[in-house]
Structure formats: C-alpha cells, structure tokens
Structure 1
Amino acid sequence: MATHRLTELPADVLELIEEAVGPVLGAETVVAGYNSEIAVRLHLGSGGSVFVKGLRQDHPRVWTQQREADVNHATCGLAPALRRHIRRGGWDLLVFEDLGGRHADYAPGSPDIALVLGAMRSLASAVAPPDVDLKTMPQRMSTYVTDPGDVRFFEGRALLHTDWKPDNVLVIDGRARLVDWAWASSGAPWIDPALWAIWLIVSGHSAGEAESLAALHPDWNSTPAHHIDAFARAQERLWESVARVDGPHEWTRQVHAAAVAWVGYRSA
C-alpha cells in the first residue's frame, strides 16, 4: 500500500544527513514512488547531489530499507550505488548516488524498450545473495495461486527486482537503471519479464505484443507454458486484491485490468 509522502524535509532528518554528507544547499522532493515517507534529491555544498529515501524506524515497512541496502552490491551495477545507511533519531535513511535521467517510456515503439530488455539480460546473471533474508516468489505468491502446488514453478535463485513500474526504471546515457529495490526477491529468472509484460499492457501494448517482448528474455522460451500460466493467474488474483483494497488509485485498477487481459490472452 502507498505510504504518505512528506512534502518538506524535517529539520531533524536534514541534520542527520548533513552529519553524514556535509552541508545541503537545496532539496527537491521526488514525487514518483509510493513506498517512502521521504524521497528527496539533495544538492550538496561540496558539489554534486545525492538521492535520499527513508521511513520512520517504527514504520511497518521499514524492513524494506534494509533489504535495499543488502542487495545493492549484487545488482550488477543496475541500482544506484548506496553511499550511506543512516539509522538514528527515529529514522531509517538510505543515501544513494543521484542518477538523474528520466523515467522509461514503455509505450509501443519506444526506444526505451530495448534498453529495458538490456537491463533485464544483465540482471539475469545476478544471483540472490545467500546471506540476505529475501522473500522467495513461492512465498509471495502462495496466497494467490489457484493450486497450492503451483508455487513450486516459481522457485529459483535469481535476484529479481519485481517492481517494473516505469517510475522505477531510469534512462541515463543510453542505459536503463533500476531504482526502488524494496521488493527484491529470489525466484525463477523468467518472473521479471513476466511482471514487466503486465506493465507493457498498461502502457498500451496488446497482451500478445507484451508477451512477445517478454519472450526476448533469455529464460522465457525454456520455461514450460503451464508455469507462466500459473503465474499469470496468480498475478490476476493479486492485483484484484490490491485494486479492491486500494480503490482510490486508478493505476491499481489499470494494472488489474492488464493482468486480466494477460490471463485471457494465455487462456485463448
């Protein structure tokens, strides 16, 4: 569920950050994203800038901060480099390099699609760090499968981003980079392109077009069709649940409709 976003940087947070990185000359709130109370680009007195995201230490999803920190080194350079992890004064803050760039465009014909595929191919070689407590995709999907035995289809040791909303993909210097690893998980490597396919449908592709693009991932065509069928059905049920609970947000209804369209395409 979305987290309330502060519109101004609290004075106590600014003090903690300045102790870590030096004087701050200016701050810009970043409006994209739903999982942080603080998301801000800071311009530093030493030159350059950093991106800071954070939650209060008593927030029920504060564990996502540690997850992002733990997987940062294993992301094949796709994530922005983590500079500092600050846990003081009631706040949990991650200080990243500021990538800049722009959000990816998933619309049909966009040149960004090839860049996203390139990022996925790079990520396909990443393995979930064995010393990091990541949820597995069987765990995450267990509530939504129609047959409990289907969760075994999602098993794997690949490091997965899983949140392919266009806001989480930045295009910089002809390359796609991935931000917001809060929902990083381990599982079968074809799952990331499957999740991307749903967002491609939201962005204007037909279900067939979206799946054709997902199939360009190196692990897609070696995956049994009934594994992907089971995952598509689970995603339909997941997004139906999210859309029902999170009704005021139009985007959740759009993603649910895309998941329904994907299941319909595969059933046909």
Structure 2
Amino acid sequence: MSAPGNPPPTGRVAWADLPAAVRHAITARAGGDVVATDLAATGFSPGFAGVLHLAGGGRLFLKAGDGATNAETFRLHTREAEIARALPAGVAPALRWSLVRDGWVVLAFDAVEGRHPGGPWTAADLGLVLAAHAALAAHPAPPVLAPIGPRLKESLVGWTRLGAARGAGVPAWAAAHVEEFARWERESVAADTAGDAIVHMDLRSDNVLIDGDTVHVLDWPHAGRGAPWVDAVLLAPTVSLEGGPAAAEVFARSPLGAGADPGAVRRMVAAWAGWLLWSSGRPDPPGIPHLRAFQRAQAAVTLEWLRQLL
C-alpha cells in the first residue's frame, strides 16, 4: 500500500501489456524467461516498474517507459541509466544493463529487499533514513552530475510566476512577501545550494527501501551536485505529510541541518514552496493524474514551514 499522503502509482503497465518486441528484447538480455512479476506499489512514472522473477531463480528490478505516453519519462529513464553507471558502489542498487527498443527505454537493476517507510513514519525509520542521507551526501559527486544551482534558478520560479498571475492561490500571509520570495529565486538559490556533494533531488518514502539497518535509495534521474543539506529540505515536508514530525523538526533532526546556513535554508524552503504551489495548479502531466494533488499537499506543509521560518 502507498504511504499516507503519497498517492498510488498510476499508468503502470503490466508485463503482459508491454509490446512483444520489448518483452523479447528484455528476456534476451536477461538470459531467461519471465515467470512472475511484482509491480511496484508506489511511484509516479508511467510504464512498467517492478521485479521480474526469471526462470532459474534470478531476479531483476525493471523500469520501462515509452516516449509516446510521456516523453519526460523516456528522458528521465535515459538520464538515470547514465547517472546509475557513474554512482559510487553501494550508493544505490547497481544497474545491470539498459536498452532501447521500439521507443521504449528499459533499465534493469539488482533487485533489493526492503520496505518503504512512511506508513506512518516512525522515529527509528526517520533516524535510519536521515543517517543514510548524511552518508550519501558525504560522497563527492561524480563528474556526470551537473551543479544543481543553475537548474534550480531556471526551474524554481514559482513565486515569479505566481506574482505575474496576481498571486492566484497564494495564502494571505505570504502575499506581502511574494516579491521578496521571487527575488530570492532569482538572486540567491543558485549560490545557496552550491557544493560538491551528491544530491538525489527526489528523496522521499517511495524512493527508499529499508532492510533491517540498511537503507537503499532508489530512482536517480534528477541527481546533481550541490550543498549536502538540500535533500533534507526536500524530504522534510513529505515526512510530515506521511505521519511524521513537522517539517522543521525533520530538518532539525538531520545530521546535516546544524551545518547549514539558516538564511540559505529559508530561501530554499521558500523557493520549493513557491514551485510546489505554482506547479500544483497546472494540468496533470500525461499518464500521471495524481501528481498535482500530491504537490498541493506538499505545498501546504512547506508553506507552513516557511511561515515559521519567517
């Protein structure tokens, strides 16, 4: 089941519904027939995502998406294959192979055991995930990971767009700060988030598996290099949504929170809140009908954190 606040996956394609040529290419590369599948129970990407059980006992975690359904999914899967090959050993489940066939891109990873946190979050699970994130951020980013600052400056422009739209959907308390928040987007966030750590950029419960004391971090297409505390900012509101502590408390519990500049954190929280608020008002992307509702819920939690920081 999906964690509270995190909607069920949509657009999932069963193994039997993949094009025959794609299935044949997968089984040829895997070296055995598929005898059973377990579809992933969380996540947003349309297409196939789940564990393949192979004749002979082998297992793979497979992701497959086609550009016809959602061009962004095809692009992200392609990018994830490039990133996965460059990550340090042990940071994420290893990529075994990837292929492209008839407009579909396919990634095959080691299948790892574990459960998703967040149903609801416990103090023990939160401690494990925050410690794993700190260990992850201690790795210098490989060259394939570009700095996140320029990307954030280009994409986190929610307050700028909301201001141009005369503040549609902006809470009353935030209306007086829209110009200030927009200036932070333009002038501060790129420099605030600069650094050389690996930054996952999509750290939340459906991208984490916990197996005993081991934490596996999944789904890497958005990763880049930047300040080590950025993922803790992005994670905190989702933990609060899924029954955990308030976002501010989640960030305070992070081993990386104490070393972060409070002004930089405040500006990043503001930029993230603005992007969530603006993006949640857009039409649903193809094949992902529940994404905007999830973003609206995140926006409410992140805005409350921002209000406290002000």
TM-score, normalization: structure 2? 0.77
Give the aligned partner of residue 275 of structure 2: 238
CA spacing shift, 1:203–1:137, aligned 2, 3 Å:
farther
- Alpha-carbon distance, 1:206 to partner: 4.7
In structure 1, C-alpha distance between the alignment counterparts of 2:33 and 2:301, rounded to whole Å: 45
Q: Find 2:298's aligned residue among 255, 261, 264.
A: 255
Q: Does 1:197 align with 2:250?
A: no
Deviating above 4 A after TM superposition, structure 1's stretches of 4 or more consecutive aligned residues are none
SS in 2 for 1:77: coil
In structure 2, C-alpha distance between the alignment counterparts of 1:190 and 1:76, rounded to whole Å: 22
On the 8 A contact 2:145/2:224 being kept in 1, the answer is no
Post-superposition CA distance 1:24-66 (Å, at most 9, x none)? 1122322321124221211001213111102225652222223
On the 8 A contact 1:36/1:53 being kept in 2, the answer is no
**What is the one-letter code of the residue matched to 1:239?**
L
In structure 1, C-alpha distance between the alignment counterparts of 2:216 and 2:55, rounded to whole Å: 26
CA spacing shift, 1:109–1:3, aligned 2, 3 Å:
closer
Structure 1 stretch displaced more, 211-220 or 188-197: 211-220
On the 8 A contact 1:28/1:40 being kept in 2, the answer is yes
On the 8 A contact 2:52/2:62 being kept in 1, the answer is yes
SS in 2 for 1:13: helix
On the 8 A contact 2:11/2:46 being kept in 1, the answer is yes
SS in 1 for 2:44: coil
Query: What is the aligned-residue RMSD (CA, Å)?
Result: 2.3
**What is the one-letter code of the residue matched to 2:266?**
D
- Alpha-carbon distance, 1:141 to partner: 4.1
Structure 1 stretch displaced more, 44-53 or 73-82: 73-82
1:1-268 to 2 correspondences below 5 Å: 4-7=11-14, 8-21=17-30, 22-57=32-67, 59-61=70-72, 62-72=74-84, 73-75=86-88, 77-105=90-118, 107=120, 109-130=122-143, 132=144, 134=146, 136-142=148-154, 143-144=157-158, 146-147=182-183, 148-151=186-189, 152-207=191-246, 210-246=247-283, 249=290, 250-267=293-310
Structure 1 stretch displaced more, 246-255 or 154-163: 246-255
How high is the sequence identity, in percent, across the aligned residues?
Answer: 29
On the 8 A contact 2:51/2:111 being kept in 1, the answer is yes
Q: How many equivalent residue pairs?
A: 263
**What is the one-letter code of the residue matched to 1:128?**
A
**What is the one-letter code of the residue matched to 1:169?**
V
On the 8 A contact 1:106/1:112 being kept in 2, the answer is no
In structure 2, C-alpha distance between the alignment counterparts of 1:113 and 1:13, rounded to whole Å: 39
- Alpha-carbon distance, 1:94 to partner: 0.3
Relative contact order (C-alpha < 8 Å, sep 6+): which is higher? 2
Post-superposition CA distance 1:88-127 (Å, at most 9, x none)? 3322100011113211127454421111012112101122
CA spacing shift, 1:36–1:69, aligned 2, 3 Å:
same
